[in-house]
Amino acid sequence: MSANDIAGGAVREEVNAEFYAWLRRMRETEPVGFDATTGLWSVFGHAEAVQIMAGPEVYGNDLSEITPPQEDYDVFFKGNIAGMDEPRHRKFRQLVSKVFSARYIAGLEEKLTAIATELLDRIGSRKRFDLAKEFATPFPVTVIADILGAPREDGPRLAKWASTVHAGEDTGVDGLTQAAEGIRLLNAYLFDLIEQRRAKPEDDLISLLIGAELEGRRLADDEIVGFVGVLLMGGISTTAALITNIVLTFDRFPEQWAEVRADRALIPQAIEEVVRLHPSFSQFLRMTRRETELGGRLIPAHSMVKVWVTSANRDATVFPDAERFDLHREGPRHIGFGQGIHYCIGAPLARLEGRIAFDLLLDRYPEYRILHEAGVGLLDTADMIGASRLPVAVTRA
């Protein structure tokens, strides 16, 4: 079984045992492997993954040289902070961080709590519902719409357009055409929103990004479009996946659900352990800027390298009894949000949303059970782990 086979198959099965077993075998026998069929290098070990993230001068994020030019994508990715290399990345991150900061995100807690509470109030006294469709997904969709200053009813449209980038599986002409159409609609929507805020600033992120300045430099409209697009891509599906992964994980350990319910101070650590075992993004790509050695293998320049985050987070040389969910785990931090200069800029927001969602679910539901017989649907992407359909039966407080 190759990395390509796994990406297209087992990662989306409801039972991921085969996927995790394959990662373990590769980690133990070939921590850095090469697939001659695809020309892709795959990295499974924690030490090798950290080496890549600590060496942006060798392992680049900017893949534009191998990306065919396309007008809609070109606009969209001008502000794609995740696809920038130094020194452009550093300057851009410093500028956007003046407004999209940890302090700004912390100030959203009251608003986010109100959104999550409203969604759970809609579920009401029902004892059976789809937690993914009725809470885990609409929560970050509404959050992002509110942050941007877009009408809440536009949230699902924004999420749909942004999700085209994760459509992933159909890389043929039809798939790329459909994705480009989604990007085109999203670009047009965001340019219009920016124009509105330039004429009449409000208390939202778009207005703050328009006004951000560092050493006399301000963001161009297409850079704002790109940055907001990254927030949409990284701030909706991944957060929904985090929430569903919390529920999926604790379904196997109901006694630990009760423990966290009794001691809410455990919530942050519980979230980190869920992200370690089930990171929303299971993999990411880098390109070598020069010939380099990694894990005893010589990798040529301009090679594509896939880092299996899920595998690195389960490396037993770093995390004792790594396959076990441990609510009280101590030691090194996982790399579920990345590491180094490309550490996820949205991680504080994801953690805040996860904490709020977890806390409210614990308040309302002393016990729950996933209705596996009703069918749990996993996300239909090659690079994400989480549920798109999650029927549950609950006991209300």
* 367 beta partners: 395
Mean pLDDT of 127-151: 97
State whether the Cα torsion 31-36-37-40 is positive or negative.
positive
State whether the Cα torsion 136-306-92-210 is positive or negative.
negative
For residue 368, give the amino acid letter: Y
For residue 345, give the amino acid letter: I
Mean pLDDT of 7-32: 72
Q: What is the mean pLDDT of the chain?
A: 90
Domain boundaries, the chain: 3-395
pLDDT-derived band at 6, boundaries 50, 70, 90:
very low
The tokens of 157 are what? 């449209």
- Per residue, what are the HEC states of 159-207? HHHHHHHHCCCCCCHHHHHHHHHHHHHHHHHHHHHHHHHHHCCCCCHHH
- Separation of alpha carbons 80 and 227, rounded Å: 5
Q: Select the more confidently predicted residue: 185 or 3.
A: 185
167-220, pLDDT tens digit by residue? 544 445 555 566 778 888 999 999 999 999 999 999 999 999 999 999 999 999
Q: Residue 9: its pLDDT value, please?
A: 32
pLDDT-derived band at 380, boundaries 50, 70, 90:
low
- Are the C-beta atoms of 33 and 5 separated by less than 8 Å? no
Q: Which pairing describes strands 304-308 and 40-43: parallel, antiparallel, or unpaired?
A: parallel
Whether omega for the bond prior to residue 87 falls within 30 degrees of 0, making it cis, is: yes
Q: Select the more confidently predicted residue: 167 or 240.
A: 240
Residue 382 in this model has a pLDDT that exceeds 70: no
Q: Residue 182: its pLDDT value, please?
A: 83
- Identify the residue whose tokens are 């599986």: 169
43-60, pLDDT tens digit by residue? 999 999 999 999 999 999
CATH code of the domain occupying 3-395: 1.10.630.10
Q: Select the more confidently predicted residue: 142 or 384.
A: 142
- Separation of alpha carbons 121 and 119, rounded Å: 5
Residue 11 in this model has a pLDDT that exceeds 70: no
- Are the C-beta atoms of 308 and 42 separated by less than 8 Å? yes
